[in-house]
Amino acid sequence: MPHQAVEYLRRAGERAIRLSASNEAIRLLRQGLALLATLPHTPAEAQQALQLHLALGLAQHKAGQLAEAMHTFENAAVLARETQSPEAEAQAALGYEESRWRFNLPAGTAIRLLQQALDHLGEGQLAVRARLQVSLAQALMTTYSPEQVPGLSQQALALARSANDPRALFDALYLNVRYDRRPNQSASRLAYMDELLRLGESGSEPEHVQEIMAFRMLERLERGEVDEGWADQQFAWTSTLDFHQPFYDYTTILSKAMWALLAGRFAEAEQLAEQGLRVGQQMQVENVDGVFGIQMFTIRREQGRLAEVAPVVKHFVAQQGIRAVWRPGLALIYSELDLRAESQQEFDRLADRNFTDVPQDELGVTSLVYLAEVCAYLGNSERAAMLSDRLRPYADRNIFAGFHLPCLGSGSYYLGLLAGARSRWAEAELHYQEALEMNTRMGAVTWLAHTQHHYGALLLERGRTIDREYAQQLLHQAVATADRLGMLSLAEQVRACLAL
Q: Are residues 325 and 456 in the same domain?
A: yes
Question: For residue 42, is it left (φ>0), alpha (ψ between -120 and 50) or beta?
Answer: beta
Q: Are residues 462 and 361 in the same domain?
A: yes
pLDDT, tens digit, 9 for 90 and up, residues 120-155: 987 778 889 889 988 998 898 877 777 777 888 888
Q: Is 241 exposed, middle or buried (0-12, 13-18, 19+ CB in 10 A)?
A: exposed
Q: Which of 196-205, 261-270, 313-322 has the lowest mean pLDDT?
A: 313-322
pLDDT, tens digit, 9 for 90 and up, residues 280-311: 888 776 678 888 888 999 999 999 998 888 78
Domain interval for residue 404:
295-498
Q: Cβ distance 268 to 454 under 8 Å?
A: no
Q: Are residues 407 and 324 in the same domain?
A: yes
Band of the pLDDT at 322, cuts 50, 70, 90?
very low
Is the predicted pLDDT of residue 370 greater than 80, yes or no? Answer: yes
pLDDT score recorded for residue 321: 55
To the nearest whole percent, how much of the chain has pLDDT over 70? 94
For the chain, the average pLDDT equals 89
**Mean predicted confidence (pLDDT) in 168-176:** 89
Residue 386 maps to a domain: yes
**Mean predicted confidence (pLDDT) in 20-38:** 90
CATH number assigned to the domain comprising residue 318: 1.25.40.10
pLDDT, tens digit, 9 for 90 and up, residues 92-129: 999 999 999 877 788 999 999 999 999 998 777 888 98
Q: Cβ distance 358 to 350 under 8 Å?
A: yes
Chain Cα centroid distance, residue 98: 16
Q: Are residues 299 and 240 in the same domain?
A: no
Q: Which of 48, 66, 52, 59 is nearest to 26 (CA)?
A: 59
Residue 169 maps to a domain: no
Give 436 or 331, the one with higher predicted confidence: 436
> CA torsion sign, 123 to 127 to 132 to 136?
positive
Band of the pLDDT at 79, cuts 50, 70, 90?
very high
Residue 289 maps to a domain: no
Q: Is 308 exposed, middle or buried (0-12, 13-18, 19+ CB in 10 A)?
A: exposed
Residue 28 maps to a domain: no
Q: Which of 1-5, 67-71, 357-361 has the lowest mean pLDDT?
A: 357-361
Q: Are residues 389 and 489 in the same domain?
A: yes
Residue ranges of E strands in 203-303: none
Q: Are residues 214 and 323 in the same domain?
A: no
Residue 206 maps to a domain: yes
Q: Are residues 311 and 414 in the same domain?
A: yes
End residue of a domain, out of 244, 262, 281: 244
End residue of a domain, out of 227, 244, 261: 244
Q: Are residues 330 and 226 in the same domain?
A: no
Is the predicted pLDDT of residue 458 greater than 90, yes or no? Answer: yes
End residue of a domain, out of 203, 228, 244: 244
pLDDT score recorded for residue 154: 87
- Domains held by the chain: number: 2
Q: Are residues 206 and 354 in the same domain?
A: no
Residue 172 maps to a domain: no
Q: Are residues 439 and 316 in the same domain?
A: yes
Residue 442 maps to a domain: yes
pLDDT score recorded for residue 209: 82
Amino acid identity, residue 1?
Answer: M
Is the predicted pLDDT of residue 445 greater than 60, yes or no? Answer: yes
Is the predicted pLDDT of residue 316 greater than 70, yes or no? Answer: no
pLDDT score recorded for residue 286: 65
**Tell me, what DSSP letter sits at residue 402?**
S
pLDDT, tens digit, 9 for 90 and up, residues 382-404: 999 999 999 999 999 999 988 88
pLDDT score recorded for residue 165: 87
d(CA 316, CA 427): 37
pLDDT score recorded for residue 372: 96
pLDDT score recorded for residue 164: 86
Residue 18 maps to a domain: no
Q: Are residues 308 and 239 in the same domain?
A: no
**Tell me, what DSSP letter sits at residue 396?**
T
Give 158 or 362, the one with higher predicted confidence: 158
pLDDT score recorded for residue 245: 80
**Mean predicted confidence (pLDDT) in 450-472:** 91
Write the CB contacts of 249 (distance below 8 Å, at least 6 apart in sequence). 64, 240, 279
Q: Are residues 378 and 461 in the same domain?
A: yes
